Amino acid sequence: MDYKKTAAAIVDLIGGAENLDAHTHCMTRLRLTIKDRSKIKEDELKKLPGVQGVTYKGGQYQIIIGPDVENLYNELAPLVPMADAKAVVNENLDEKKENIFNRVLSFISGSVTPTLPVLIASGLISAILAVCANILKVNTEGSTYVLFNTLANAAYNYLPVMVAYAAARRLKTNEYLAAFIMLALTSPAVNNVAELTLFGIPLTQVKYQANIVPALLMVPVMALLDNTIKKSLPKSVVSIIRPLVLAGIMFPATLLVLGPIGTVIGRLLANLCVWLTSFGWISMAILSALHPLLVMVGMHTVITPLIVNEISTVGSSLLFSKALAANLAIAGAALAVGVKAKTEENKSAGISTGVTALLSVTEPALYGVLIRLKKPLVTAIIASAITGIFIGAFDIRAYATASCSFLTLPIFLGGPMSNFYLAVAAAVIATVLGFVITWFVGFDEE
């Protein structure tokens, strides 16, 4: 894609710069607020190089691009100087929320999603270390191994600090104070220490490290308190008194109330994951089949906090393994389209997005090929469900988070080596089934 040409064409096809009221983007989509939708030339827009599809959700006209969206957005923004540039959206949930449930989901997802690069880095470092220890027989007590293992573990140990920072930024309270409070809670003097008292009151023993729920409870309360302070105190003293009051109240409030509540909720969420996967192959067949549909509507990010909590609480995740089945089934279906298609456009789209899905990102294959041709989406769902049966039957677990692909299979190292070998087998099964079923079912290129 030529970003400059595509950006200019998009502006022209949405009715010109004067028809655009505001613009932003998320991980895969341009998100545009349009004044008059009747001026959009949608059919021509869909044919632009790099455009995988369009949709209208949450009051926004969303143009699906894939992982290149930021590069395209950077070329589009200067072309529409009169439109309002909104903050980047960190998740695929619609910004326009209609009820408290959606607002809570948006807050949780928006607080956890910014930490995913850290978790992915940690997961891949852990995977490499697992390969070194289990296959290459590297000395796990050597200083190099220990140092990198410390780096990998820091992601989960101090994840609540990063979540508190992101949550505070989202709620427009002081992110550094939120991180400061969580740093104290995750310190060796507080974390999981028994028989502590505060003002003579016995404290519940709470494991704050790797526990994101206390942070998600603490920051909204802190934001409410912060707003009250800013409205009540004179401006001349607010910059001095505000940090003291926030830290002096929220630290003991979390120790006494929010931390213990967060621990209970965290355990319940971990138990929910266990329950969701407790029906073995039936559970995983359903969850794997649903994964492409969740990605379609941008709701897969809602499950991410559950998976992060499951890994930090239990040490592994069966729920996350559904993504292995679905991602590689999507890749196989896209590759089948690329090999079997008669038009040059579909051949190119199928091969390029299929290879991308095999190695990292599935959105281009999903939006640019499967949804557009319809039948390959159905065959990918069928292949996902069948692979989910295999994953559930053998209880294949992930020990870290990363976009499931052939490159990231080492995230399934961490338990018995048989788990890793079975994960490799599941990846192959999903890819082959996605390809074969799509090939025989076929698709209508018109």
Could you tell me the CATH number of the domain that includes residue 37? 3.30.1360.60
Is there a domain that residue 373 lies in? yes
What is the widest separation between alpha-carbon atoms in the chain? 77
Is there a domain that residue 114 lies in? no
Q: Are 430 and 325 in contact (CB under 8 A)?
A: yes
pLDDT in tens, the chain (446 residues): 788 899 999 999 999 999 999 998 887 789 999 988 889 998 888 888 888 788 887 678 889 887 678 889 999 989 998 888 887 775 544 444 456 766 776 787 778 778 878 877 877 787 788 778 877 888 888 899 999 989 988 888 898 999 999 999 888 899 999 999 999 999 999 998 999 999 999 999 988 887 888 999 999 999 999 999 988 888 778 888 899 999 999 999 999 999 999 888 877 877 776 787 778 789 899 989 988 887 765 566 667 777 877 787 778 888 889 989 999 999 999 999 999 988 887 888 888 888 888 876 777 788 778 888 889 999 999 999 999 999 999 999 998 877 788 888 888 988 888 999 999 999 999 999 999 999 999 888 76
Which residue among 69, 89, 109 closes a domain?
Answer: 89
* In a shared domain, residues 313 and 404: yes
Is there a domain that residue 115 lies in? no
Which residue among 270, 288, 313 closes a domain?
Answer: 270
* In a shared domain, residues 290 and 413: yes
Is there a domain that residue 120 lies in? no
* In a shared domain, residues 410 and 281: yes
Between helix 159-170 and helix 143-157 the angle, nearest 10°, is 40
Is there a domain that residue 11 lies in? yes
Q: Are 316 and 399 in contact (CB under 8 A)?
A: yes
Which residue among 38, 64, 89 closes a domain?
Answer: 89
Number of structural domains the chain divides into: 3
Query: What's residue 402's pLDDT?
Result: 74
Is there a domain that residue 289 lies in? yes
* In a shared domain, residues 251 and 285: no
Query: What's residue 268's pLDDT?
Result: 80
Number of residues in the chain: 446
Query: What's residue 111's pLDDT?
Result: 83
User: Which residue range is the domain that position 363 belongs to?
Assistant: 276-441
* In a shared domain, residues 164 and 51: no
* In a shared domain, residues 428 and 303: yes
Is there a domain that residue 237 lies in? yes
* In a shared domain, residues 333 and 434: yes
Q: How far apart are CA 357 and CA 361, in angstroms?
A: 5
Q: Which of 317, 356, 310, 88 is nearest to 210 (CA)?
A: 310
Query: What's residue 349's pLDDT?
Result: 81
